[in-house]
Structure 1
Amino acid sequence: MDKININSNEIGTMWTQYIQNSLYVQILKYFLETVDDEQTKNLVQNSINLSDQIVKDLTKLFKDDNIPIPKGFNGQDVNLNADKLFLDPFMVQFLEHTLKAGMLAHGSTLMTCVRKDIRDLFTNTTKESIKLYNQCIDLALEKGLLVRPPSVQVQPEVEFVKSQKYMSLFSNRPLNTVELTHLFENIKTNTVGIMITMSSAQTTDNQVVKEYMLRGMKISEKHVKTFRKIIEKSYIDVPMGSNSYITNSTEKVFSDKLIMHFMAVLSAAGQGNYATASTASMRSDITLTYQRLSAEIAMYAKDGANIMIDNGWLEEPPQVPNRKQLIKD
């Protein structure tokens, strides 16, 4: 069967995957240069191999279909000789976070593709991401680094909602386990966000970027406190991971372009997480909290995009022809 033409979904998702994986390669290569633990080093190397292969496969597809290859990120965006900035436990937490995002991204990409060679590519990357994620969780458990969800008691029998008060804005009922899951996971992701913004603010020499990262750190800290407060009102202890896996190094590691783009990726993921949590939560006060915090992230992301535009750091996705302009010309 002849190869069918590439479609808009495939171009857009391939472009996104290229940009993000070229970014991850630079971060992971720095991890590889500074990691001490041998098991963590192996996990980092395997993660580099996956992201690097994705970039190579996508490059070939772009060339074969005469689509401009994105600039993305390269060795100029990282200082591999910089002093150690992240302790090894952070690398494990970082990989847990990014591999979760990778499983979702690759699976979503697969669902938007039609052409068999592209579907085969993302079927394989989804499988490899799942394999790496399981290795990451096993390593975190072995080393006592995994922040485990709260252990709770539940009712002994199946029950049905008896009143609309269950979903009321003023409900004082305890959390259900679905609501608790999302609150806990969003605490974990924001804790990683605190360390990323802290380390970025600590090492950049650009004052605008520094202030933006400090603002992001304060937002993540506020969101963690908000979610903790909701959980604690149900008399549940909140397991907390450490946010002190950053050294005192102030040597620049990543380009400002890279860290600003990475914050855009994290902000988009955060909004997606909050949207999912909002629809899954049956207490209206929790739903409104997610919507309010999501709006805050959206404004933060918009300001970040403006900084990238002002500095020429924001690469455009492939665009369809501007027919109005063509007719006018």
Structure 2
Amino acid sequence: MNSIPLSATELGNLWQAYREKSMLLRVLEYFILKSTEDETKEILRNAYTIESKNEEKIRTIFKNADAVIPNAFNESDVNKNAPQLFDDNYAIMYVRTMGKVLSGLYTLHEGMSYRQDIRDLYMEFTTDMQHIYSKTTEHLLDKGVLPRPPIVPMPKEVDFINDISYTNGLNPFRKKRPLNTVEIGLVYQSLETNLAGMRLMNGFEQVAKESDVKKYFTRGKELAKEIVSMMSNHLLDSDIPAPSTWAGMVTDSTIPPFSDKLMMYNTSLLSNFGLGSNSIGAAFSFRSDLLLNMGSIMAKTYDFAKDGGKILIKYGWLEEPPSASNRA
């Protein structure tokens, strides 16, 4: 047992990580049961084994610190008898997206940790999530359902930006320069993430029980569609075709496999990740129109996430993080 107490940041980040893993395990349980392909089932089972082990590690730390374990998500949040809502390709695409999201969060959490065992824990979490991401990416590429980013000519010499016109994009009377490779990468990742999110919202909208939750997922789907359209246009403006093949389909089932609480939390997690991703996109973009669109996306995503929090509070689904002592 470590004699150094958990710091506030370590406790808060572990609390978040436990809830994320608890949610992901419930989704994986359902996906494994409904999977129809042996290779898909194997990848999902491997991810489940990894995440079960890591969830237990957090539980042990909480127990050793005499800290209450979050309620998070349990058997009541998944209906294993519900028909397949997402096909096998989307199940893998979902796990791939979560691998991308969580590996980024765990790298951030490691940088906020001071105890050696907690730093080591996040390094393990990051490595595990990168392994899951790699396996799911390779599977989708092998099946031909995950397009690769565009290819551009290799540079032959070093160039420098020597004209302010490089940032042009909003003036309709001046020609926009083509996107540079950094911008292409940011646009492409936004496009890919929101296409996956659009299908997730479509499925959640289809099975949600509460009317305001259903409307919220419809709003999320429309927001994702708007972002996909915007990012596709940026590629097309630079004579780069937007990808036409994407992994996964939503079935016509209307029987909910997950509780509204779990689906809302999942949406909240992805919305917050989207806010971070778009802020990075804005920071590394030079063209003014791209900056403006990234800012618009951030504003709309923030409003969407904020309204999602209100729904979580309304139904008593928002578990309160550990806090400082109230000495008032």
- Are residues 1:279 and 2:283 paired? yes
- Asked whether the equivalents of residues 80 and 253 of structure 1 are also in contact (C-alpha less than 8 Å), the reply is yes
Matches of 2:269 and 2:302, distance apart in 1: 12
Q: Which segment is superposed worse, 9-18 or 238-247?
A: 238-247
> 1:290 aligns to what?
294
Q: CA deviation at 1:46?
A: 1.2
Matches of 2:40 and 2:284, distance apart in 1: 34
- Are residues 1:186 and 2:190 paired? yes
Give the counterpart letter for 1:128 in structure 2.
Answer: D
* Structure 1 residues 182-235: Cα deviation after superposition (integer angstroms, max 9, x where no partner): 101101100111111110111112111111100110000011001111111111
Gapped regions of structure 1 (runs ≥ 5): 325-329
- Asked whether the equivalents of residues 40 and 92 of structure 1 are also in contact (C-alpha less than 8 Å), the reply is yes
SS at match of 1:323: coil
Matches of 2:196 and 2:101, distance apart in 1: 13
- Asked whether the equivalents of residues 50 and 125 of structure 1 are also in contact (C-alpha less than 8 Å), the reply is no
When residues 270 and 240 of structure 1 are mapped into structure 2, their CA distance, relative to the original with a 3 A threshold, is farther
Matches of 1:226 and 1:110, distance apart in 2: 34
SS at match of 2:271: helix
Q: Which segment is superposed worse, 272-281 or 156-165?
A: 156-165
Matches of 2:64 and 2:198, distance apart in 1: 41
Matches of 1:265 and 1:105, distance apart in 2: 11
Q: CA deviation at 1:4?
A: 1.1
When residues 244 and 140 of structure 1 are mapped into structure 2, their CA distance, relative to the original with a 3 A threshold, is closer
For residues 132-211 of structure 1, the aligned pairs below 5 Å read 132-170=132-170, 172-211=176-215
> 1:247 aligns to what?
251
Q: Hey, which bits of structure 1, 4+ residues long, moved more than 4 A?
A: none
Q: How many percent identity over aligned positions?
A: 31
- Asked whether the equivalents of residues 194 and 243 of structure 1 are also in contact (C-alpha less than 8 Å), the reply is no
Q: CA deviation at 1:115?
A: 1.2
* Structure 1 residues 99-122: Cα deviation after superposition (integer angstroms, max 9, x where no partner): 111211222222211112222222
SS at match of 2:324: coil
> 1:39 aligns to what?
39
For residues 1-12 of structure 1, the aligned pairs below 5 Å read 3-12=3-12
- Asked whether the equivalents of residues 145 and 247 of structure 2 are also in contact (C-alpha less than 8 Å), the reply is no
TM-score after normalising by structure 2: 0.95
Q: Which segment is superposed worse, 126-135 or 147-156?
A: 147-156
Q: Name the count of aligned residue pairs.
A: 324
- Asked whether the equivalents of residues 194 and 221 of structure 1 are also in contact (C-alpha less than 8 Å), the reply is yes
* Structure 1 residues 97-144: Cα deviation after superposition (integer angstroms, max 9, x where no partner): 111112112222222111122222222122222222222222122111
Q: Which segment is superposed worse, 221-230 or 167-176?
A: 167-176
